[in-house]
Homo-oligomer: A and B are copies of this chain.
């Protein structure tokens, strides 16, 4: 479909988007009514309903010259699917709101939608509704609805004596973002990690079943998320630098940019790794690595000391 959103008009664009997302709900027996009516109707029979919502703004959370429309779609879906992962739940259905300028090429919107639907499909989730409207800049609003058949794992359950563990790539996306910010396109592995994060989607439920006492996804930065866990649980958390193996591409980027690669690991978000606490080392599931410990007190330290590097992302 050629042209801009302004030329295609609201209803032309909606018709195309509904085609993409109808493909997404085909065969999903849990969707009684998909996109196209006033609301979608879902069948969620067992367990609890888990819901989360996130915004992405062009120029702030993504740039069209740094990632393809499809990449942005993958990333928008991934960061929301990850929130359900961080409760120990299973993502099931998503809605998507797209505010965009009238001069946005329709193909950008459709490629975005295709990437979004693909990422959802990779975890068996479907897109059941949405809204589009005109705005000066692109704002993407996603809501994800999931299901939790066991008790959800909150941020607030960590206790002194627990161990802190991580699963998934950490620091890769931040490294990719750093090189893009300097105008480079390599190391490719990092740039791709930024463009299309690969959250450890199965690990949230795995952690819940292994008895995790608290759980969060690393979207804003590892130390920032550790602080969320510490504050919600009323404990202190110490992170051990030595627990992290610095992957080769991050070493290379650190050398090229004159930065400590450990900064990407401790301060980086966007990979959507999971950070959890477990009662002891024995209960930490396969694939997770112990990266610190939970102590009495408050605040987050690194190797027992205050950390003065960047700890994460702030939105204002």
Contacts and interface: CB of A to CB of B under 8 A. Distances in A.
A37 B87 contact: yes
Contacts of A56: 133
Interface stretch (A21-29, A117-125, A145-153, A289-297): A145-153
Nearest to A316: B10
B97 A155 contact: no
A158 interface: no
Contact of A61 (B39, B60, B133): B133
A72 to B, nearest CB: 15
A132 interface: yes
Contact of A133 (B55, B129, B130): B55
Interface stretch (A42-50, A259-267, A301-309): A42-50
Count chain B CB atoms within 10 A of each CB in A32, A55, A93, A145 and give the residue with the most.
Answer: A55
Given A38-B155, A60-B134, A134-B60, A49 B52 contact: no
A20 interface: no
Interface residues on A, range: 35 or more
Given A42-B48, A50-B39, A316-B9, A55 B95 contact: no
Nearest to A53: B95
Interface in A39-93: 39-44, 48-57, 60-61, 83-84, 86-87, 89, 93
A32 B316 contact: no
A209 interface: no
Interface stretch (A136-144, A166-174, A176-184, A193-201): A136-144
Contact of A39 (B5, B87, B133): B87
